[in-house]
Chains A and B, each alone.
Chain A
Amino acid sequence: MQSMGIERVESSDAELVCRVRAGDIGAYGALVSRYRDRLGRYARHMLGDREDAEEALQDSFVRAYRSLARCDDPARFGAWLYGILVNRCRTTGARAARRRRMFVRDADALQGAARADQSERLEWTDAVDRALARLAPEYREAFLLKHVEDLEYEAIAELTGAGVSALKMRVKRAREQLQRYLREAEHV
C-alpha cells in the first residue's frame, strides 16, 4: 500500500518488551522515549521538583528494566511501569521534601528580585503548583492519576493498592481542597 505524508510505524509495547528480553537493549530505548514525557509529568507534579522527578523517573526505568522478567503481561508494560513509578514517588517523597525546602529557600533568595516580573499566567501556574503541593500525598496521587493521567478508578486501585471507594473520597477531597487553596490565593 502506498502512503503519503509522514508515516509512523511503531512496534507495540509487547513486541519491544520481547525484543529487550531477547537481548536487544536498543528496544528498551524505544520504550523509554515512548513513556518518558507522560511519566515525567506525573513525577514532576507528584514530587513538585524537577530534579527529584527526573531522578525518580530514571530510577523507575532502570528498575523496570532489571525486573522485566516479572512483567507478566508485556502488552500492559505501560501500566506496570506506572506502578513502579508510583511506588518510587511514594518512597522518596519525604526525603525529597526535606531537600526541596532547603534548596527552594536558597533559590528564592537568589532570584527573589525576578519574581515581580512574572506574568499572570506564570502566577496561575505557580498557584496551581503551590496548591497541589499543599495536598496530602495520597490526595495528590489520586487526583493526578484520575484527572491528569485520566485513569479509571479500577486501574488506580491496582496501581496504588487502595480501594475504589477510598480513592473516590481522596479525589473528592483533593478537588475541594484545591479550590479552597486557590481561592485563598485569590486566583479564582
Chain B
Amino acid sequence: MFEHEEDVVQRVVQQLRRPVAIDPALDARVMQAIAKPEPPARSIWPWLAAAAVLVSLIIWRPWSRSAEAESATFQFVLVAPQATSVSLVGDFNDWDPKRSPMRTANGIWATVVQLAPGRYRYAYLVNGAEWRADPGAPTVPPPDDEFGKPSSVVTVGGKGS
C-alpha cells in the first residue's frame, strides 16, 4: 500500500532539510578570492584605485624588479573563535610572529601578504603557543616536517603560465 502524497512529500522535505556537508575550507577560499581584486565599487573608489596604482608604479618601479611585478596579494584566513591572538608565520616573513599579526571579526582571523611565485611553508601561531596548519591547504608531510609542529604549503604560480 502506497503512502499518501502529503506524507511522501513530508518525508522528502524532512530528508532534504538535513544539513549537508560543506568543505570547511570554503570560507577561507572565498576570503582569499575577495582579497585579490578591487574592493566593492563606490563612485570614488575607481579613481582612488587608479591613483594608488599610479603611486605604486612610481614607488615600486615594477618594470625594473620582475619578481615583485609578478607578486600578488593573498589573504590568509583562520576560523578560531576561541583564540585571543593569531599570527601568520612562514617563509615569506622570516617566521616572525610580529610581522603578520591577524585581525579578527567574529572569530574569523585574517591578514594579507604579498607573495611572488614560489612554494612557501607557513603555519598559524595561536595565542602565542599553539601551532596550527591551514585546514584549507596542503600540509607539510611527516618526512618533510623536521620540527614536529604542523605547517602548510602554499604554491603561487606564475600569471602567464
Tell whether any CB of A sits under 8 Å from a CB of B in the complex: yes
Q: Which residues of A contact B (CB under 8 A)?
A: 10-11, 19-21, 23-30, 32-33, 36-37, 40-41, 44-45, 50, 53-54, 57-58, 61-62, 65-69, 124-125, 128, 131-132, 144, 147-148, 175-176, 178-179, 182-183, 188
Q: Is the CB of B40 within 8 A of A25?
A: no
CB distance from B73 to the nearest CB of A (A): 11
Q: Is the CB of B26 within 8 A of A25?
A: no
Q: Is the CB of B26 within 8 A of A65?
A: no
Interface size range on B against A: 35 or more
Total A-B Cβ pairs within 8 A:
122
Expressed in whole angstroms, the Cα–Cα distance for A33 and B105 within the complex equals 11
Supposing A68-B40, A128-B12 touch, asked if A58 and B33 sit within 8 A by C-beta, the answer is yes
In the complex, chain A residues whose CB is within 8 Å of the CB of B103? 26
Q: Is the CB of A188 within 8 A of B3?
A: yes
Q: Is the CB of A33 within 8 A of B40?
A: no
In the complex, chain B residues whose CB is within 8 Å of the CB of A33? 27, 79, 106, 108
Expressed in whole angstroms, the Cα–Cα distance for A29 and B75 within the complex equals 12
In the complex, chain A residues whose CB is within 8 Å of the CB of B108? 26, 29-30, 33
Expressed in whole angstroms, the Cα–Cα distance for A148 and B33 within the complex equals 30
- B148 in contact (CB, < 8 A): no
In the complex, chain A residues whose CB is within 8 Å of the CB of B38? 66
Q: Which residue of B lies closest to A36 (CB)?
A: B22
Supposing A128-B16, A148-B17 touch, asked if A30 and B106 sit within 8 A by C-beta, the answer is yes
Q: Mark B61-85, 1 if CB is under 8 A from A, else 0.
A: 0000000000000010101000000
| Interface of B: prevailing SS | mixed
| Interface of A: prevailing SS | helix
CB distance from A49 to the nearest CB of B (A): 11
Q: Which residue of A lies closest to B108 (CB)?
A: A29
Q: Mark B87-102, 1 if CB is under 8 A from A, else 0.
A: 0000000000000000
Interface members, chain B 1-29 (any A CB < 8 Å): 2-3, 5, 8-9, 11-13, 15-17, 19-23, 26-27, 29
Q: Is the CB of A25 within 8 A of B8?
A: no
- B123 in contact (CB, < 8 A): no
A54 touches which of B9, B26, B110 (Cβ 8 Å): B26
Q: Is the CB of B9 within 8 A of A36?
A: no
In the complex, chain A residues whose CB is within 8 Å of the CB of B8? 178-179, 182, 188
Expressed in whole angstroms, the Cα–Cα distance for A40 and B19 within the complex equals 9
Expressed in whole angstroms, the Cα–Cα distance for A163 and B27 within the complex equals 34
A25 touches which of B17, B22, B31, B41 (Cβ 8 Å): B31
In the complex, chain B residues whose CB is within 8 Å of the CB of A50? 20-21
